[in-house]
């Protein structure tokens, strides 16, 4: 575990030296660059990473380095440990009734979600990062000092647990040095810098937050996720002695403009989180842009709609298909014969 980024996000900083793990970097063909893949945060939207990995493999692009943040760390870990098939099969079976069974209230979060996180992590297995066949790294945030923390060795499970400790959803995780760690999306939602530090010469980044600002401030039919968190919001309103507006009718499909309805607690919370992650991502990528950026269009999915995996996976696949020529060029591959 290493710390990075001691200064403000928009300042140049000296990143720590990285001791390479046992995974040897081998060029796929003479003259081809070492390819790294940086998978960004985005909670339930992160299932799109599965579609991205599948589509890249179909193009013959298999990165030697993979980094992730939050749910991106989970998918990256599953891929690096050879368990992506098991993770995909599980998330495709998820429905919102199963999601209800994963809800558990606890300290440090409105919805602790420990059962859900434990179920996710069961699908990557017990490994030491150093034993993985590809180089892996993920990002968390030191809650007390606001610093970025890099995981490049040690327990893969512990690293992923820390990286996906989304504030308000999952409780913080205690690090080896006693620090409380939370979601890496607070400091680096798409860890391009970590991929380069691990040896990547070309970095493909996947940003899940490119079109989400303001999307939660248009009310539509209530999703299962909103039904799931409604009792928590009601309890908080009662605690502060306020009456909540009645939620939109479950069968209502027409948007209600923001001017006509005050946004609810979780609309405000999720919109604020969207703004924060969008601005941090823009700032970080301005300082260290990837060689190729994929931005799947996922604004229609809420942060906690984990039961819509099939949609997200397909959107990730489409994002790769739409940019196949640019992706092949970025990794030094020619287009297949006969393609324009």
Neighbours of 237 (CB within 10 A): 15
Alpha-carbon gap, residue 172 to 241, rounded angstroms: 29
Task: Please tell me whether residue 182 adopts helix, strand or coil conformation.
Answer: strand
Active site residue 183: yes
CA–centroid distance for 139 within its chain: 10
Q: With the C-alpha atoms ordered 262, 264, 270, 273, is the resulting torsion angle positive or negative?
A: positive
Are the C-beta atoms of 175 and 141 separated by less than 8 Å? no
Identify the DSSP state of 17.
P
Closest CA to 181 of 195, 155, 199, 162: 162
Structure tokens at 233: 């919001």
Alpha-carbon gap, residue 268 to 49, rounded angstroms: 26
Active site residue 158: no
Neighbours of 224 (CB within 10 A): 18
**Active-site position among 142, 183, 188, 291:** 183
Are the C-beta atoms of 281 and 41 separated by less than 8 Å? no
**Active-site position among 70, 81, 163, 193:** 70
Structure tokens at 336: 């297949």
Cα–Cα distance list, 183 to 102, 117, 150, 161, 239 (Å): 19, 13, 12, 9, 27
DSSP lists the bridge partners of residue 206 as 39, 294
Which residues lie below 8 Å from residue 283, measured CB to CB, with a gap of 6+? Answer: 9, 10
The catalytic residues are: 70, 183
């Amino acid at each position: 575990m290493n710390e990075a980024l001691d200064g403000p996000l928009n300042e140049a900083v000296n990143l720590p030296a990285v001791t390479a793990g046992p995974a040897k970097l081998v060029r796929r063909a003479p003259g081809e660059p070492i390819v790294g893949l940086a998978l960004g945060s985005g909670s339930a939207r992160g299932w799109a990473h599965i579609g991205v990995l599948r589509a890249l493999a179909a193009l013959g692009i298999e990165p030697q380095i993979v980094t992730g943040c939050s749910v991106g760390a989970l998918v990256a870990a599953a891929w690096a440990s050879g368990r992506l098939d098991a993770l995909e099969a599980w998330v495709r079976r998820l429905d919102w009734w199963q999601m209800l069974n994963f809800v558990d209230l606890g300290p440090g979060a409105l919805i602790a979600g420990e059962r859900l996180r434990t179920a996710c992590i069961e699908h990557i297995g017990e490994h030491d990062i150093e034993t993985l066949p590809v180089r892996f790294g993920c990002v968390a945030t030191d809650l007390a000092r606001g610093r970025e923390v890099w995981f490049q060795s040690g327990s893969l499970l512990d690293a992923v647990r820390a990286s996906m400790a989304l504030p308000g959803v999952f409780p913080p995780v205690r690090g080896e040095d006693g620090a409380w760690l939370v979601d890496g999306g607070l400091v680096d939602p798409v860890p391009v810098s970590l991929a380069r530090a691990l040896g990547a010469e070309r970095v493909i980044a996947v940003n899940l937050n490119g079109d989400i600002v303001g999307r939660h401030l248009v009310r539509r039919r209530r999703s299962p996720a909103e039904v799931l968190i409604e009792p928590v919001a009601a309890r908080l309103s009662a605690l502060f002695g306020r009456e909540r507006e009645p939620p939109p009718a479950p069968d209502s499909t027409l948007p209600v403009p923001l001017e006509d309805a005050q946004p609810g607690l979780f609309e405000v919370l999720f919109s604020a989180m969207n703004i924060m992650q969008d601005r941090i991502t823009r700032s970080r990528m301005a300082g260290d842009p990837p060689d190729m950026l994929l931005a799947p269009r996922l604004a229609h999915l809420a942060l906690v709609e984990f039961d819509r995996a099939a949609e997200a996976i397909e959107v990730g696949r489409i994002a790769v298909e739409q940019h196949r020529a640019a992706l092949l060029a970025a990794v030094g591959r020619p287009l297949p014969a006969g393609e324009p």
